[in-house]
Amino acid sequence: MTDTETRLRDYLQAQAATVPDDAQGPGLEPPGRRHHWPVLVAAAAIALVLVLTVSFLTRTAPDRSVPVPAGPPPGPVSGAAPEVPYTLTSGRLRTDGSTLHDGDRTVRIPPGVGGFFGRVGDGWLTMKSPAGGGSRAGILTPDGTFRALGPERIELVALSPDRRQVAIIHYLDGPKGEIVVVDIDSGRQVSRSPELPTRPSQLGWNRNGIWFRVDEVGDPSKPTQYGLYGWRPKSHEVTRIDFPGYDGGLAVPAASDVVGLTTRRGNNRCLKAGVLRDGKFDEQRQYCDVAAAASYPVMSPDGRTIVSSDVKLAIDIASGKRTKLRLPANAEVTSWPEPVFENVSQVLLITRPPGNQRLPVQQQIYRCDVRSGECAAVLKTTGATLQQP
């Protein structure tokens, strides 16, 4: 079983609420669970092909990103059904019985399909990992058909801001990889990155280009070191972005220049938001907390708000205003899979009772307004996972 297939299996198990309390998100596993490659060898190889490129650091193309939902005016928070896709899994370790729900549409998910990364036309971008191997990106259509896109043996996918193309992390020999860009309508490959000495493990695409993370590990007994990079499709060069203390978290709202990152020093973890300026990450806001659990940055689609689900807090990036999300005190927010914004002002979160629970774990989906902190119960269920809209 490949690394991608293992991650996809784990993700599907999360849909069935079987993720243990100390589970890590994809690409943030404990060091012993990943293939490790000497950091000096990787850094030397990366230096041959990853150089600073003005084309990535300066956005020159017109903004064709899909407009983001504005959200309702301030007021009482609705308990209506989620406005983003979500999945429900009736099985425990199988995809059989899993369904995708999006508005008034319900689609039975074919075996091996899991994780949805955004709406495309009348379908949804997803990945499929067949029993025989060879994971692929594709579109799940409303009739339950999977239309494959791009090469086999892939890691992750990300939609372009205009939702016309998809970036795909493609396996090459050994630890190597590349990013290929495929036109969704035609299925034709339109661009590919230079060969990367170490395959990326996180991916996002905004108006500046494609952002990705590379895990750079020398000593397996030490914490993983992460490198942050950028690439603009059709460019022959890749940018390494200098960001001291980077701890692997990456949130890239497609319609914004702002990105969310994480740093770590000991048990002190920080969520940071900023933009690229003169080849460096220009920090605009940070929130730090001492916690043993990993932190994942969750950002609004307009890049103006960042949420720390661990402490149930929303931070306005421009003003620094902190708004406590008024969730039940004893409710434990599921940090992976992550909370998902429905629009620029409201976020959906899944909670469960604290501590280890018997399966199936009872879940409660809440909708919270990041301006006021008010929250409303939306759906009580089991085996639910929020998906990208």
Taking only the tens of pLDDT, the chain with its 389 residues reads: 444 444 444 444 444 433 334 444 443 333 333 443 333 333 333 333 333 333 455 454 556 677 888 889 999 999 999 999 999 987 554 445 699 999 999 999 999 999 999 999 999 999 999 887 789 999 999 999 999 999 999 999 999 999 999 999 999 999 999 999 999 999 999 999 999 999 999 999 999 999 999 998 767 777 788 999 999 999 999 989 988 889 899 999 999 999 999 988 777 788 999 998 877 788 999 998 755 455 678 999 999 999 988 889 999 999 999 999 999 988 899 887 789 999 999 999 999 988 767 778 889 999 999 999 999 999 999 999 999 99
Q: Is 235 exposed, middle or buried (0-12, 13-18, 19+ CB in 10 A)?
A: middle
Could you give the CA distance from residue 216 to residue 336 in angstroms, rounded to a whole number? 23
Residue 340 is assigned to a structural domain of this protein:
no
Q: Is 330 exposed, middle or buried (0-12, 13-18, 19+ CB in 10 A)?
A: exposed
Residue 383 is assigned to a structural domain of this protein:
no
Are the C-beta atoms of residues 376 and 328 closer than 8 Å to each other?
no
> Which residues, 6+ apart, have CB-to-CB distance to 334 below 8 Å?
19, 309, 349, 350, 351, 352, 363
Residue 369 is assigned to a structural domain of this protein:
no
Beta bridge partners of 177: 171, 196
Could you give the CA distance from residue 373 to residue 362 in angstroms, rounded to a whole number? 23
pLDDT at 9: 43
Could you give the CA distance from residue 200 to residue 297 in angstroms, rounded to a whole number? 18
Q: Determine the 3-state secondary structure of 314 from DSSP.
A: strand
* Residue 238 DSSP one-character state: B
- State how far Cα 179 lies from the chain centre: 16
For residue 60, give its domain range.
Answer: 3-323
Are the C-beta atoms of residues 28 and 294 closer than 8 Å to each other?
yes
Domain with residue 312: its CATH number is: 2.120.10.30
Residue 302 is assigned to a structural domain of this protein:
yes
Q: Give the closest residue to 239 by CA, choosing from 248, 247, 230.
A: 230
Could you give the CA distance from residue 129 to residue 110 in angstroms, rounded to a whole number? 11
Could you give the CA distance from residue 365 to residue 384 in angstroms, rounded to a whole number? 9
Total Cβ atoms within 10 A of residue 132: 6
pLDDT at 59: 53
Structure tokens at 128: 């499929």
Q: Which helix (H) or strand (E) holds 205?
A: strand 202-206
Structure tokens at 172: 């090459």
Structure tokens at 182: 């495929």
Structure tokens at 99: 């369904």
Could you give the CA distance from residue 309 to residue 181 in angstroms, rounded to a whole number? 32
C-alpha atoms less than 13 angstroms from C-alpha of 179 in its C-beta half-sphere: 32
Residue 334 is assigned to a structural domain of this protein:
no
- State how far Cα 77 lies from the chain centre: 26
b (16+ CB within 10 A) / e for 196-228: bbbbbbbbbbbbbbbbbbbbbbbeeeeebbbbb
pLDDT at 334: 87
Are the C-beta atoms of residues 215 and 34 closer than 8 Å to each other?
yes
Residue 364 is assigned to a structural domain of this protein:
no
Specify the number of domains making up the chain. Answer: 1
pLDDT in tens, 135-154: 999 999 999 999 999 999 99
Are the C-beta atoms of residues 245 and 256 closer than 8 Å to each other?
no
pLDDT at 91: 56
Residue 350 is assigned to a structural domain of this protein:
no
Are the C-beta atoms of residues 305 and 318 closer than 8 Å to each other?
no
Could you give the CA distance from residue 351 to residue 349 in angstroms, rounded to a whole number? 7
Structure tokens at 285: 């806001």
CA distances to 143, 152, 171, 291 from 4, rounded to whole Å, are 26, 11, 9, 28
pLDDT at 216: 82
What is this structure's pTM? 0.83
